[in-house]
Structure 1
C-alpha cells in the first residue's frame, strides 16, 4: 500500500471505528466542582461537560486555555462600559461548577461522519477537537492527535513508505 492509497483509506474511515469510548474520555457532569475540573485539566487539553452520566447530554466543554479566565481577578475582565461576560466565568465572579465556565457551543460531528469530514470541519473552524454526538448525546470525541495516531497505524499496518 502506498501513501496515496493509505490516505484514501484513512479519509473514508468512519469516526465510530476509531473514536475512543466515553469511559476513557475527560468527562465531567455539569454540577462538578470547578476545582475537580482544574485537576483534570492539569493533564489534558479539554474536558467535556455533560448534563449527567445517564443521559450524556452534551452541555459544552472547557479548554485548557479557559483556565486563564477562571483564575484571573475580576479587574482583568472589566472594560470601560462595565464587566464582560468572561468575568462570570471567573472563580472570583462566582463560578463554582463546570457548567458555569463551559463553552456552550462545542463543535460537534455525527459518529457516522468520515475522517475527511472531521478534518474539513477542524480546518474550517480552526479546532483540534470535535465532540462526536448522536443527537444531543456525547458518544465520543475526535482530535487531531487521534487522527495522527490512526494514520500512522494505517501506514505501519499497510507497510506504506514515504516516497522522496
Structure 2
C-alpha cells in the first residue's frame, strides 16, 4: 500500500469507526460542581457538559484554557461597559456549576462523517477536538491525537514506508 492509497483510505474512514467508546469520554452533567470539573481537567484538555448521563444531550464544553476565567476575580473583567461573560464565569463572580462556565454550542460533527470531514472542520475553525454527535446526543469525540494514532496504525498495518 503506497502512502497515497493509505491517505485515501484514512480520509474516507468513518469517524464512528475510530472514536473512543462513549464511556471513556471526559463528561460531566450540567449541574456538576466546578471543583469536579477542575479535577477532570488535571489530566484532560477538555470536559464535555451534558444535560444528563441518561440523555447525553450536549450542552457545551469546558476547555483547559477556560479555567483562566474561572480562577480570575470578577474585577479582572470590569470595563467601562460593565459586566462581561468572563465575569459570570468566575468562581468569585458566582459560577458554581459546569453549565455556568461551559462554552455553549461546541463544534460538532455527525458520527457518520469521514476523517476528511473532521480534518476540514478542524482546520476551518482552528480546533483540535470535535464532539461527535448523533442528533443532539454526544456519542464520542474526535481529536487530532486520535487521528494521528489512527493514521500511524494504518501505515504500520499497511506496511507503508514514509520517506521524506
Query: How high is the TM-score relative to the length of structure 2?
Result: 0.98
C-alpha distance in 2, partners of 1:45/1:85? 21
C-alpha distance in 2, partners of 1:94/1:22? 31
Residue aligned with 1:139, SS: strand
Report the equivalent of 1:51: 51
Q: Does 1:107 align with 2:107?
A: yes
Report the equivalent of 2:116: 116
Q: Does 1:35 align with 2:35?
A: yes
TM-aligned CA deviation for residue 163 of structure 1: 2.8
Residue aligned with 2:59, SS: strand
C-alpha distance in 2, partners of 1:137/1:125? 21
TM-aligned CA deviation for residue 20 of structure 1: 0.7
Q: Report the count of equivalent residues.
A: 164
TM-aligned CA deviation for residue 78 of structure 1: 1.0
TM-aligned CA deviation for residue 77 of structure 1: 1.0
Q: Does 1:68 align with 2:79?
A: no
Give deviations 1:116-158, integer Å, cap 9, x for gaps. 0000000000010000000000000000000000000000100
Query: How high is the TM-score relative to the length of structure 1?
Result: 0.98
C-alpha distance in 2, partners of 1:95/1:154? 44
TM-aligned CA deviation for residue 86 of structure 1: 1.1
- What does 1:127-146 correspond to in 2, within 5 Å? 127-146=127-146
Structure 2: unaligned runs, 5 residues or longer: none
Give runs of ≥4 in structure 1 deviating > 4 Å: none
C-alpha distance in 1, partners of 2:163/2:36? 48
Report the equivalent of 2:79: 79
